Structure 1
Amino acid sequence: MTSAASAAAAAAADDDGDGTPASPAETLELILRRLLPFLLSAALSARTLVGRWRLLHSKLSLLLAALSDAAGSPHWPSNQLFSDHLLPSLLSTLRTLRSLSAVCLDQDLPGGKLRLQSDVDIATSGLSLHLHDLHLLLRSGLLHHDGSLASPADDSAAIVLPLPAPSASRAVLALFVRDIFARLQIGALDLKGKALDSLLELLATDPAKISRLVVEEGDLPLLLRLLDPSAHSLLRDRTAAVISILSTASDASRHAVFEEGALGPLLRLLDSGPAVLKERAAIAIHALTADHGCAWAVSAYGGVSILVAACHSGSGSPSVQALAAGSLNNAAAIDDVRAAMVEEGAVSVLIELLSGNLEAQKNAALCLASLAAMGGEEIRNAILQENGLTRLLQLLRVASDPEAIDHALKAISACALAVSPTATKLLSSSPPLFAQLTDLIKRGSAGIQHSAAALVANLSPSEDIKRTMAEAMPALIKMMENSKPSSAQEAAAAALTSLVAVRANRRELSRDEKSVTRLVQMLDPRSEAVAGKELPVAVVLALTSGSSGGARRRLAEAGACQHLQKLAEADVPGAKKALQRITGNRLKNLFSISWPQ
């Protein structure tokens, strides 16, 4: 070894003594006052690997500035991540560099240049990580935190800051979130696990509020990296729970999660992750795909086959199956996704789910309704060929949940509207179906009444079956009078028009004084119950067809003529014809009469 190298080695040996600093303050003092000045000088004096030492000099200069900034705060000792984790690791790396600097003063290199080069590179990489972590802490503001989050009873060695109260200020909550994400990047495995626990605990206090704060103050790309199969299972499990909450808690957090590319990793978890992760991934995917702007990406990420596979019995828990079916329904509005669903055999899998748990039944029926309504003839024929219509009718018969009934009705209607005459004939010749539709129109929710009335209007049952539905007519009149949206009124009017095509039903309805009165009131131009008067006029036309003398008389007695005259003068379609049917040969005289207002 040369005399210069010997002198440097001797100086290095005296640099910090042989002992370990007793406190974080002594460690920081040693690094700032002795180790860094020595290494900055040694980096410029190296005679071997000069280029690497020039790079190290720039990193050491940045480190000195950052550490001086940290030391300028009186609160840094309260940050255990800095004092108990970063400083000891940094001290070890700098001591290694000090030893290597002495060797690099010797041109003979008795240990070999390649070995020395590798050692310097490893130490340089470690120094870069320390510098990254230190800058992270400085940017977060944690090193200048005065400890105001902590209560007197807090353990001074706490791994993370104490959980803030729900009423804490935004500044306090933001500091807590930044502290958590700092520990996720700097801490060891146990620190990261506890940080994620704290994040989950914080999110539970107010998911909507905290989720927005997390996407603003946290690091979503870091969370998504923890979903990678190479990440520790402990961290993946808790991270999946966090992402699941962020995906469901608020629009802002859901959009942020999607924009950061979460759908791909979540689909991979659903495809090959353990059971608990599959369920959390399924929850998040279902929430993300509910946004039409996100649903298109299912096909882009190759997720259709994964979702279809997740719907299969035995592929996961019943809740995963139900959520996967719901995600498929969310994405069924996208043309590319629908086409991929057919190719992947989604129709048969969804039909199989109609016998699954309640949530799976509802989502599968709704997805089949979407496919039948928005897809082409190929999809609707596939539903028929897979015995889907029969299975939907079975679900309708046995279901007691209002949503399941409504979704089954929508799917049956979508199949009946545009499929082959075979489907329409099958449905139209089923007395049990129309008996159930009658009951649903009378007693169902507004949505179920709408779906049931639409189905009746679009089928062609026999007169005998229509007669059995007479008791549904008063409810259809009420739907016309009260229902919103207008499509429900249209469905009720169409169903009623179909039923009163039967003479017995016309006679039955005309004897119902309340229903006739309601119908006549809807004809009043001043009435806002029905925006378009064409609907009640159409019902009056149907009610007065044939030899329905009783119906004409009762409509006239209830005051229909004066309203129809005004509607005829306003050129409402069908009003003049309806008035003529009620009045017969007296029509010309009626137009000269001034009706009371």
Structure 2
Amino acid sequence: MGEATGEEAAAASQEPELADEQGRLAAALDAISSLVSDSLSASLFPLKWQLIRDRLNRLHAGLADITIDDDDNNGRCDAFACLLRAVAATAREGRELVPRSQGRSYGGGKLRLRSDLDVLSAALDAHVARLDELHASGALTRARALVVPRPPPGAARDDVRFYVRDLLARLRVGGAEMRREAAAALAEALRCGGGVDGDRYARAVVASEDGVGVLVALLECPDARVREEALEAVSLIAAHDAHRGDLVVGGVVAPVVRVLDSAGPAAAARERAARVLCRLTENSDNAWAVAAHGGVTALLNACTDHGSGGGNGSGELVCAACRVLRNLAGVDEIRKYMVADAGAVPVLVALAQGGAADDASQIHAMELLAAMATTGDGGDGSVREAIIQEGAVESLVAALDPSSPRSSKSREVALRAIDALCLSSSQTAPGGATDRLHAAGFLDRVLSLLRLNGDSALQHCALKAAHRLCCHASSEEARKAVGDAGFMPELVGVLLHAKSPEAREMAAEALCALVSVHRNRKRFVQAEDRGVAQVLQLLRPDEEKPSATTRFLLSTLTHLAESSSGRRKIVSSEHVRNLEKLAQANVPEAKRIVKKLGGSKLRSIFHGIWSL
């Protein structure tokens, strides 16, 4: 026989090492299994032993997932061999604690036993982390484990349950890569199932033993990929109203709030966390759980990060955070806490003003301010006062500036928010709110929006604001200010060109309210060459029953007929025939106007119409 070559000699030298490594692996797995089995008889500190068993199961799954082959290098053998020896030694030490946990021999007392169990748990955590590092470095080769395929759409309920149980088992005890794959598969099943199938997968997770608990644990996993997939899975389950209570009871709120309030996770993870809270708080019963775990502060911090241009807040995150805060504001006590203690109003006013915030964030901030001011029985005057005192009115009026780069939608929301804060008839505006509006140039802004062509939605919002200003003004001076600003001809223009009956009615009522003031009436008659004639032109004598718009126009003419100059303008108009026809149709308001016009020198004009 010839001498062995160098390669043959090297291969021969590796065989004992390979055998040793296989032996160490088998010994470690056996030691873990023995400790898991023995620990089931422990009666003291059962929760601590349950945590220890979870870590042991993770170690066992991670080690059993490894293939020993001839290509492994010495560096890997050394590191892996050290880990195996350490795992086996820790498991043997753990078995010594089992008799002491059965109550037969304290060996130092319960405090000492508690401390020893904590040391054991920490050692197992270190072994799990080291195994994950070896997996991540590529030094270990994973065995080909059986992977259960996802059931097809419409599969039997038992097939769905079996698939979900398999994924949860992998999430519970699998190594790093296995958990990533299982978390992604679970999220994909919930996402792509959709409709009935999506609800079946969500129900299977909730119904599984500790299914929600597994997801809660993954929400604090140091592996970012696993954590984000777990957040997505929780969000998809929360989309089903029937399962939100199970998620809250299972403890998802606290870790989700921590993800939202942490500077570590990427913006995408924080957005997912905010979406989870948004879905959970659609049911007001869950609002308290979010607030109790510091959710209000975390949400406001997310808005502050973005509004200041710093941090890792994004526009989507801020929009989602504002939606959650709006859900929370539906609870009176939480809304008052947001305003009085959490400092929500300055944050939202800063967002509404613009700065680093995008248009969508500004819109959500303005909507939230309006909701906070009006939520509850008739709104909360103290909350509205606080919002106004923080400069919300000036901020909202600035959003109406035509030179600002705001979208039409943003201006619409600003007008609605102003209406909620200062103009709504169902509220009593705090003192000074109207003065703040006028000082900020609100009248000029609304007037410019009334003159818009082609943007009917924004013009309608402006008309509604003008209607509030005229009809719900608290004093005659306020109506004088609106008249001086030049609103009357614009309201007549709306009456002439608006297609919406609601818009014409609001314009007619606003015009009637303005001309009820002597100074406005005098301005309308003297300064507006066609104003009186146009009002007469707008009367509809052919209506079977006078509409609300026609009645407001007749009331306007009643006010105008109180002065001799007004009566002259009415009589000299070519459209006075419309008024005459309404009087002939026995419309009471029209008859009273004609009677007033029929006195002295004007009586002959209507002679023969009827006997007064």
Provide the TM-score with structure 1 as the length reference.
Answer: 0.60
**Is the CA contact 1:524–1:563 (under 8 Å) kept in the aligned structure 2?**
no
Q: Distance in 2 between matches of 1:494 and 1:478?
A: 16
1:196 deviates by: 2.6
Whether 1:351 and 2:349 are equivalent positions in the alignment is yes
How has the CA–CA distance of structure 1 residues 360 and 112 changed in structure 2, closer, same or farther, with 3 Å as cutoff?
A: closer
Tell me the CA shift for residue 350 of structure 1: 0.8
1:338-487 alignment runs, 5 A limit: 338-342=335-339, 343-354=341-352, 355=354, 356-374=357-375, 375-397=379-401, 398-417=404-423, 418-419=428-429, 422-428=432-438, 433-440=443-450, 442-443=452-453, 448-459=458-469, 460=478, 462=481, 465-467=484-486, 470-475=489-494, 481-483=500-502
- Aligned AA for 1:277? A
In the comparison of the two structures, how many residue pairs are matched?
442
Pairs within 5 Å for 1:528-567: 538-539=555-556, 541=558, 546=563, 547-549=565-567, 550-551=569-570, 556-558=576-578, 561-562=581-582
Supply the distance in 2 between the matched residues of 1:399 and 1:113 (Cα, whole angstroms): 70
Distance in 2 (CA, whole Å) between partners of 1:543 and 1:293 is 57
Aligned counterpart in structure 1 of residue 510 of structure 2, from 495, 504, 522: 495
Give secondary structure in 1 for the equivalent of 2:220. Answer: coil
Gaps of 5+ in 2: 1-21, 23-36, 43-59, 66-92, 104-143, 470-477
User: Does the 8 Å contact 1:520/1:555 carry over to 2?
Assistant: no
> Which of 264, 271, 274 lines up with 2:265 in the alignment?
274
Whether 1:240 aligns to 2:231 is: yes
Structure 2 residue matching 1:396: 3-state secondary structure: coil
CA contact under 8 A between 1:499 and 1:505: conserved in structure 2? Answer: no
Structure 1 letter corresponding to 2:180: G
1:193 paired with 2:180, answer yes
Match of 1:334 among 324, 331, 334: 331
| 2:338 is the counterpart of 1:318 | no
Judge conservation of contact 2:495–2:538 (CA < 8 Å) in 1. Answer: no
Distance across 1 between alignment mates of 2:554 and 2:446: 28
Residue-by-residue CA offset, 1:1-23 (whole Å, 9 max, x unaligned): xxxxxxxxxxxxxxxxxxx9xxx
Question: Which moved further from structure 2: 234-243 or 320-329?
Answer: 320-329
Matched residue SS, 2:330: coil
Aligned to 1:309: 301
Q: Structure 1 residues 112, 439: closer, same or farther in 2, change over 3 A?
A: closer
CA distance in 1, matches of 2:249, 2:496: 49
Distance 1:254 1:306 in 2: 21
Aligned mate of 1:175, from 140, 159, 167: 159
SS at match of 1:453: helix
Amino acid across the alignment from 1:473: V
Residue pair 1:270, 1:282 contacting (<8 A) in 2 also: yes
Q: By how many angstroms is 1:197 displaced?
A: 1.6
Classify the secondary structure of the residue corresponding to 1:525.
coil
Deviation at 1:294, TM superposition (A): 4.6
CA distance in 2 between counterparts of 1:264 and 1:591 reads 81
Q: 2 CA distance for matches of 1:404 and 1:504?
A: 34
Distance apart, 1:396 and its partner CA: 1.9
Residues 510 and 274 of structure 1, relative CA distance in 2, 3 Å threshold: same
| Residues 111-155 of structure 1, C-alpha deviations (whole Å, 9 max, x = no match) | 99966747999xxxxxxxxxxxxxxxxxxxxxxxxxxxxxxxxxx
Change over 3 Å in CA distance of 1:215–1:349 after alignment to 2? same
Between stretches 426-435 and 385-394, larger displacement belongs to: 426-435
> Per-residue CA shift, 1:202-229, capped at 9, x if unaligned?
4444645544333333326246424542
**How big is each residue's C-alpha offset from its partner over 1:41-85, in whole Å with a ceiling of 9 and x where there is no partner?**
xx9xxxxx9x969xxxxxxxxxxxxxxxxxxxxxxxxxxxxxx98
**Structure 1 CA distance, aligned partners of 2:249 and 2:558?**
56
| Residue of structure 1 equivalent to 2:204 | 217
Secondary structure at 1:171 match in 2: coil
1:286 is the counterpart of 2:304: no
Partner residue, 1:12? none
Partner of 1:26: none
CA distance in 1, matches of 2:279, 2:229: 18
SS of 2:540's partner is helix
Distance 2:101 2:280 in 1: 47
- 1:347 maps to a residue whose letter is V
CA shift in 2, pair 1:310/1:52, >3 Å: closer
Q: Distance in 2 between matches of 1:118 and 1:560?
A: 107
Amino acid at match of 2:258: R
Shift of 1:184: 1.5
Q: Percent same amino acid among aligned pairs? A: 25
In 1, Cα distance between equivalents of 2:287 and 2:594: 52
Contact 2:220–2:255 (Cα < 8 Å) also in 1: no
**Preserved contact between residue 308 and residue 324 of structure 1 (Cα < 8 Å):** yes
- Deviation at 1:362? 0.6
Aligned to 1:184: 168
Which residue matches 2:9? none
Deviation of the 1:179 alpha carbon:
0.6
Structure 2 residue identity aligned to 1:214: Y
The answer (yes or no) to whether the contact 1:329–1:367 under 8 Å persists in 2 is: yes
1:281 deviation in Å?
0.9
Q: Name the counterpart of 1:127.
A: none
How does the TM-score come out when normalised to structure 2? 0.58
Q: Which amino acid aligns with 1:268?
A: R
What SS does the aligned partner of 1:218 have?
helix
SS at match of 2:486: helix
